[in-house]
Amino acid sequence: MSKINGPLHVDTFVNERYCKADLINIMISSHNLNKKSCIYVGDHSDDYIAANSAGISFLKVANY
């Protein structure tokens, strides 16, 4: 199991265990959100792919 200590480790934890697009959809449905009002913020190409697969907008930020 990955040690969770900051965004990059959380990202690794999610990638190792789940599909990001599935988690995005679970969060959206569990909070009764509208996909058109959601923006996924990320810094990796797989973040863009996850947002696109989930059908929501994506905002790329610089890697840290």
Task: Sketch the domain layout of the chain as residue ranges.
Answer: 7-60
**pLDDT tens-digit profile of 22-60?**
888 988 999 999 999 999 888 888 889 999 999 999 999
Confidence of residue 2 (pLDDT cuts 50, 70, 90): very low
Higher pLDDT, 14 or 43: 43
pLDDT on residue 19: 84
Q: Say how far apart CA 4 and CA 19 lie, in whole Å.
A: 18
**pLDDT tens-digit profile of 16-31?**
677 888 888 988 999 9
Burial class (CB in 10 A: 0-12, 13-18, 19+), 18: exposed
